[in-house]
């Protein structure tokens, strides 16, 4: 089964280059421009991995990661933050459970390799507890 990841980045060029690179690795890629769009997608789809820019156009990245961790099924999802040279990795709260903080200056090929290194062996599944959160009560007849 093909694994699916979510790339969250305000830069269209960055999203597209990474998408093209990962599609060659048989990874299905979904793209989001903003934290708001990414959270909407995360509520509808369980991704194997999420990568986000350290600077998002609509929200602080740490708040986005904190919000994402509260979405059912995302408490332990692999998460990478891609930083510019102006971001200090020690600024990120360790309680956010970020798997890697990766400098964008290393390039697309290195970032794709880092993503592949953090991909789980199989696509995620919702456990019984999480599934219950998605279950809606039946209307009374």
* Total residue length of the chain: 141
* Helix, strand, coil % over all residues of the chain, rounded to 5: 40, 20, 40
Average pLDDT over residues 46-72: 94
Q: Residue 101 domain-assigned?
A: yes
Q: Residue 140 domain-assigned?
A: no
Q: Residue 116 domain-assigned?
A: yes
C-alpha 113/C-alpha 78 separation (Å) is: 14
Give the pair of three-digit tokens for residue 104.
């964008």
> Domain span at residue 48?
3-134
Q: Residue 61 domain-assigned?
A: yes
C-alpha 62/C-alpha 112 separation (Å) is: 22
Which position has the higher pLDDT, 3 or 131? 3
CATH number of the CATH domain containing 60: 3.40.50.2300
Give the pair of three-digit tokens for residue 89.
């990795």
Q: In this predicted model, what pLDDT tens digit does every residue of 73-119 receive, in sequence order? A: 999 999 999 988 777 777 888 889 999 899 989 999 999 999 999 99
Q: In this predicted model, what pLDDT tens digit does every residue of 5-16 receive, in sequence order? A: 999 999 999 999
Give the pair of three-digit tokens for residue 122.
């199989």
Q: Residue 88 domain-assigned?
A: yes
pTM as predicted: 0.83
Give the total number of structural domains in the chain. 1
Does position 141 have pLDDT exceeding 60, yes or no? no
């Amino acid at each position: 089964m093909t694994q699916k990841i979510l790339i969250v980045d305000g830069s269209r060029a960055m999203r597209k280059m990474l998408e093209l690179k990962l599609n060659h690795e048989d990874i299905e890629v979904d793209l989001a421009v903003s934290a708001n769009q990414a959270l909407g997608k995360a509520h509808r789809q369980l991704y194997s991995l999420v990568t986000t820019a350290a600077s998002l156009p609509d929200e602080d990245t740490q708040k986005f990661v904190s919000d994402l961790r509260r979405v059912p099924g995302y408490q332990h999802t692999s998460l990478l933050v891609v930083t510019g040279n102006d971001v200090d990795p020690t600024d990120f709260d360790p309680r956010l459970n970020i798997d890697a903080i990766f400098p964008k200056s290393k390039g697309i090929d290195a970032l794709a390799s880092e993503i592949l290194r953090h991909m789980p062996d199989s696509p995620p599944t919702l456990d019984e507890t999480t599934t219950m959160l998605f279950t809606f009560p039946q209307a009374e007849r």
